[in-house]
A and B are shown apart, each in its own frame.
Chain A
């Protein structure tokens, strides 16, 4: 099995008056684990359906391995789709499920049986071949679905939020397993998810989508540490947001005046004084000032401490603006009296032109 690259060329998808996907150019490299991340209704599933062939784009074209897929149905494309609800065939045994794609290709029973058993072994389900999917646990069903998709030797495997129905522990386990299967098979994975944690842990690269537009495409680390838009900054991971106006700017840094003080951060968008802007700082990059004073320091009111396990979320407020600090779980924080001084370095903060932020949280 060898992965192929997937290209979207000037693709647009409209449903009547509604444009689900605005003009998009995207290239997924052969053999990479690529995630399309976005909130529900952002158009990520539409992109998946256009690649799989269940939808034809209104404009533009989809290429897989350089070959134009226009007019080819899902049964003619080198893709396999794993559905959100898995869509296993409940009346067939597990091996028959896995072998269905081969059956559809007219391969004889003995060969497809061997292949199915082999694939079920690959996903760690030896001994479950004769059972029905309903007799398996959620994670096992997941693996049957993966084996079923791999049986047709796809060049591109499309995954439509397949982990969303699992509980947390299993989900974390399946992430590692999916990544492992992707590495072993070398198939291009396009993974659709609204869970940024999932996207960050598994992917090589991520495309972040909002309202039918891809806001940013990049390697996971870049997406996290160098978000290009306020939405990406707030959708992927947590970020403290301080809106204001630029008062002073040079090539590298900008100074922003907010309702709660003046802060400095990297001037990513080459903003000029007077521009409306937002400052973002990750909770783990901010800290309670202890000893040396960082570039930006300010007083905040302590609100509460949420224990996450290895780290704690410390919730503060600057007026009505919430501010969160992540700290390794090394001590208790009871006994804050009055305002606390917080701070962060200008290098760890970024100033961007104002825009829409993710306000789900």
Chain B
């Protein structure tokens, strides 16, 4: 702080500090706090409330009729107290109707139906599979670009990887949709070869398989896996590869003992990014499956917010996903023995 003031002076320093604080508070802390707060309460709506109010009104009508017919002062007073009691009851019920009571607790987290819970688990497993597949695809690519290709070829390959990212993610996903659709590119090719027939509808239903979502997800997030791995592999001294080879190590051995241990932080970061992006991806499963295959959890969350208007449940679902992601980060850090500083690099 003192060194900051010394380098930039008081006004500039306070501006920096304010902006940072604003960022931390408004961009990071506040939305999360809002989400957590929402997930921790629910409105206890009584389904019978309307009927109860109606019943009280009709009873009051009856009592009012009785009141008019009453002869003695004593009976009249009796009916009057009953009417007052009913009025108070109605007022209380109506107040409950317009402003239902908030009940705090973990109700939103525990009420998840079995189906939703299955989808939750399935999404996590699928995201893990996407992560593993992306790693298997990206590691050799990253290694090739970083160590094997000539600088010119490496630049071209890098460019080839980056160019598709200049196009909107949705368009990229739709491209895959066109490739994998019933009458898409692959099925057309198969039809041309005479293996399937559009008339008989014997096409291969790629889109009904979660694999199609995997493909699109890997394609969509490939860079987030490649770049961190590339960055770490790139810093590996080429002599170490040669030394390993000179000592008689096979390619497999060299990778297992030299390259992968060196690239661990990059692999961990790549896996974390790919996992988080794919477990939370909404557009890819939405576009690729179009209801032809099961929902992903992200789609469920969307429904809670925008279809059932149940923000509290939605918040609880979202927060569950955040917890899964945090757990994943911790597990990756622990199992790869990388610190938060390695990851930040």
Most B CB within 10 A of own CB, among A80, A87, A148: A87
Contact of A105 among B239, B242, B244, B248 (CB under 8 A): B248
A-B pairs with beta carbons under 8 A, tally: 62
Contact of A148 among B237, B247, B250 (CB under 8 A): B247
Residues 192-231 of A at the B interface (beta carbon under 8 Å): none
Cα separation A75 to B246 with both chains bound (whole Å): 5
Give chain B's interface residues, CB within 8 Å of chain A.
237, 239-240, 242-250, 253, 257-258, 261-262
Question: With A89-B258, A103-B253 in contact, do A73 and B243 touch (Cβ < 8 Å)?
Answer: no
**Do the beta carbons of A104 and B237 come within 8 Å of each other?**
no
Question: With A87-B240, A89-B240 in contact, do A80 and B262 touch (Cβ < 8 Å)?
Answer: no
**Do the beta carbons of A100 and B247 come within 8 Å of each other?**
yes
Nearest CB in chain A to that of B264: its residue: A91
Give chain A's interface residues, CB within 8 Å of chain B.
52-54, 73-75, 79-81, 83-85, 87-89, 91-92, 100-101, 103-105, 148-149, 151-152
What residues of B have a CB within 8 angstroms of the CB of A105 in the complex? 248
Nearest CB in chain B to that of A76: its residue: B248
Cα separation A74 to B251 with both chains bound (whole Å): 12
Instruction: Tell me how far the C-beta of A20 lies from the nearest C-beta in chain B, rounded to whole angstroms.
Output: 18
Cα separation A149 to B243 with both chains bound (whole Å): 9
Question: With A91-B262, A103-B257 in contact, do A83 and B242 touch (Cβ < 8 Å)?
Answer: yes
Given A74-B242, A92-B257; 20 other pairs, CB 8 A cutoff: A53-B246, A75-B245, A75-B249, A75-B250, A83-B239, A83-B243, A84-B239, A85-B239, A87-B237, A87-B239, A87-B242, A88-B243, A89-B257, A91-B262, A100-B247, A104-B249, A105-B248, A148-B247, A149-B247, A152-B248
What residues of B have a CB within 8 angstroms of the CB of A104 in the complex? 244, 247-250, 253
What residues of B have a CB within 8 angstroms of the CB of A81 in the complex? 242-243, 246
Instruction: Tell me how far the C-beta of A52 lies from the nearest C-beta in chain B, rounded to whole angstroms.
Output: 6
Question: With A85-B237, A91-B262 in contact, do A101 and B242 touch (Cβ < 8 Å)?
Answer: no
Cα separation A339 to B307 with both chains bound (whole Å): 107
Q: Can you list 17 A-B contacts with CB-CB less than 8 angstroms, sorted by A residue number?
A: A52-B246, A53-B246, A74-B242, A74-B246, A75-B245, A75-B247, A75-B248, A81-B243, A81-B246, A83-B243, A91-B261, A100-B257, A101-B247, A103-B249, A104-B250, A149-B247, A152-B248
Nearest CB in chain B to that of A96: its residue: B257
